[in-house]
Homo-oligomer: A and B are copies of this chain.
Amino acid sequence: MNKVRVEAFSDGVFAIAITLLVLTIAEPTNYRELSHQLWDRWPSLAAYVVTFVVIGIMWLNHHSIFGYLERIDRPFVYLNQLLLLTVVLLPYPTGVLGEALRRGEGTRAAAAFYAVVMAVNAFCWTAVWLYASSGRRLLHSSFPEDQRRSATLGFSSGTVVYTLAIGLAFVNAYALLAFHAAMAVYYAVDPISRRAARASG
């Protein structure tokens, strides 16, 4: 299996999924009241921004993970495809959530749907990492053992947190969006490398 090629394919999918997000903002329907209709769409813009940031950070962390691997094998590629399947889906719940918030109807269902897709995505990330790292299956020999353990803990607890966040959807849809933005920012600082830096510090 060619690592470079799988990475390039994944990059393409991330880039397309992130760009398709623009299609999640509903076209105006009444141009006489255009300024009103555009203001009205700010929840769609908020959902667009949050999911854009989330996918952008995912793309970065995808590279971090691939950078730690010495090689990849077929099962890893299938888990990676499964991960991409959930990434590609993201524009759909994003569009639904933005539209529900704009209409003020179905916001709980929309937020729960968004939260579930994100939680499934978190499970896929954990599966990808556990497969690659358990028994150091695909890891570079230079990857520190304590960093492996803390990353496993990070991914596993992330899965729990994203699952619990589904409950937040029933409290407030904006709080859910803020939560996902905050989590993305948290992951942006790359827990794996940060911990590694601390360990070696």
Contacts and interface: CB of A to CB of B under 8 A. Distances in A.
Interface of A: 2, 5, 8-9, 11-23, 25, 27-28, 31-35, 38, 48-49, 52-53, 56, 59-60, 63, 74, 77-78, 81, 84-85, 88-92, 95-96, 99-100, 103, 105-106, 108-110, 112-113, 188-190
A11 B96 CA distance: 28
Contacts of A32: 105-106
5 contacts: A11-B12, A13-B15, A13-B19, A34-B110, A52-B88
Contact of A81 (B56, B103, B108): B56
A82 to B, nearest CB: 9
A34 B100 contact: yes
Contacts of A23: 20, 23
Contacts of A19: 13, 16-17, 20, 88
Q: Which secondary structure dominates chain A's binding surface?
A: helix
A33 B38 CA distance: 25
Contacts of A27: 95-96, 99
A106 B36 CA distance: 10
Contact of A35 (B18, B84, B109, B189): B109
Contacts of A112: 35
Contact of A96 (B38, B92, B109, B113): B38
Contact of A60 (B21, B59, B77, B189): B77
Contacts of A21: 88
